[in-house]
Structures are given as C-alpha cells and as structure tokens.
Amino acid sequence: MATVESREFGVTKTGETVTLFTLNSDKCKVEIINFGAIIVSVHVINSQGEWHDVVAGFSDMTGYYERSPYFGCVIGRVGNRIGKGKFTVDGEEYSLATNNGPNALHGGVVGFDKKLWNATPVENGVKLSMVSPDGEEGYPGEVHLTTTYTLQGSKLSVKYNATTTKATPINITNHSYFNLGGHNGWGSDLSKHEVTLHSDKYLPADENCLVTGEVKQVSGTLFDIRAPTILHEKLLEQVPGGGYDHNFCLPLDGQRHKAASVRQVETGITLDVETTAQGVHFYTSNYLSGEKGKQNVIYPRHSAVCFETQNWPDAINHSGKFPNCVLRPGEEYNHETWFTFSS
C-alpha cells in the first residue's frame, strides 16, 4: 500500500496551479506533477539502507519550462520521430512541425509534456487526464488520454489509456532519465551501470536518429545487450551516433514481458522494466549537455539511461512492416509499464 499526498509545486506561465503528488510506501517514494504528467523524483533504498533519488529533474517550474530535455514527462501524441513530419491516414496526408532536424519529435512543439493535466488521487496513486483537440500539432481527431501512476512496495506502474474521434497515430511513453547512483553519486558517465536488454532485434537508425525501416538481429553487433553489459564510454562512442538511441523490439502479443534491467554496481540498486508495449527505446542521454537539476547536480552527457516503452518509431510510415499505430474511433489504446526497484 502507498499513501498519496499533494501540495502546490508552482504555477504555469499562464498562472495555473501545478500540483505535486507524493506516492509513499515503505520502500519507495515517487513525486509526480500534473504538468506534463512528469515524474519529478523517485527515491529508493540502496543495500546500506540509504535513500537515493534516481531520476533527473528540477525543483521548480522554471527548470521544466526553460531547460528540460523531456525529463520524466509523458510524451504524445506520438513519441519518438516521424519522418519528415509527414504521414498519411486513410488516403489523407498530414503535416507536422519538424522540431528535430528534418523530422517531427515527441508530439510537436507543444506536446503532451507541456500540458497541464487534470489529476485525481486513486488507491495507491494518481490518475491524470487530458484532452488533445482535433488538429492539435497537426494530428487528426480529438484524443482523450489518461495516465495512471500507482505504487505498490517498490514497483511503480504506469498505465496509459486513450480514445479518439478520428483515425490517428498514437504512441505514448514516459521519458524518465535514470541514474541509480542517485544525486549524491550521479557521476559523469555510465561506467558504473550494468544494463541488460531482453531483445534479439533492433531498428537501425540514420544520422538523424530516424529508423531506416530495417529490422535487424542484435547477434554479433554492438546492440547485443542480452547479457549484462557495463556502459563504458568506449562502448558508447563506438555506437553510431555516439551512444544508444535505438528501439529494441519486444513480443507483439500485448502481454507483459521483461524489457530491460539496469544495476548500479556501487549502490547495488537495480531497476527491472516490464511492459506490454511492442518495443523499448533505449537512450543513453547522448544529448544531455550539463543541465543543472535537483540539488544543484549537473547532468552531463551519458550520465543517465532512458527506457521508453512504446510502439516502434515512425510506425505510421512503415505500415505492414512495423506494428500498427493507428487508433480508430470505437477502439481503445492501452499499454502498461512496470518499474521495479531492488537492492
């Protein structure tokens, strides 16, 4: 069981109150705000009984407005990249803002990460909801979305549900940056993190991090992380693009499967990621650039990992080859991810 408390965190640029919800169990404490449905902090216990905050974030709204590279937020309407910011649904072409080089990224200029959500406490957690109007950021259909965070012991569940009034692509995820050394031992790289990805296929990407449409076996490549692998800087620099920013394919049956595990060798803290999603986008924070966050900690390049559980990137432009990402009226989009901490 977890208790749920709330308090004011700050205000939006238009003066609306942003509320912080604290989910508390005897093994974990999670703080979430209703701006962007952002996970602000996750406090867990190491093997010595010490508490550590293991996600990047900010202590006030200024940080999230001015210098946040999607820390902890819910991404949508379509997470990841859409090639050239264009797609076609039922014969009609749609154009989006190209906010990441030649491509559209993470829902556009004002995605779900920059919205104020409605929030309601529920048993062991908080349920956040929002409505994305028809045409917002170029996407068709009015989308009603809920994201529900619940905490039981040291297991944080994130559940997404959505409906639409018109056929639209949709791909929701959470973009938390994890460093299991915590803020007292954040460090300058990932050389104390040992990662395992439970996937035998990945999606190659081009120089702009857009998938090429190929699906390749990880065997015999730098993407074979099926055994525990230390994220040494030498390894990351060998990966095209200077680190991992790639989708790893998971079973497509909609059932709960292991996606990834990561362990910090000094604190002994381990994170296990399970999901019903079709893939996990593994990102080694290649574009962090020294942002100053909580406790005045600096977040340098390659100092955190993201496990973005989601559909395959740019699936809308690879119909028939990638899993379907189009949600239609009368259907319900849903997937769930579990983050479990231990030491």
- Largest CA-CA distance found in the chain, in angstroms, rounded: 59
DSSP label of 102: T
Active site residue 308: yes
31, 194, 274, 308: the catalytic one is 308
Nearest to 78 by CA among 159, 8, 152, 173: 173
43, 52, 106, 175: the catalytic one is 175
Question: Dihedral of the CA atoms 223, 227, 232, 238 (nearest 10)?
Answer: -20
Active site residue 175: yes
Report the 3 state secondary structure along 318-336: CECCECCCEECCCCCEEEE
Nearest to 33 by CA among 3, 2, 74: 74
Cα-Cα-Cα-Cα dihedral sign, residues 44, 339, 83, 161? negative
Q: How far apart are the first and last CA of the chain?
A: 20
Residue 55 contacts residue 184 (beta carbons within 8 Å): no
Question: Which residue is listed with tokens 């990460």?
Answer: 113
Which residues are catalytically annotated?
Answer: 175, 308
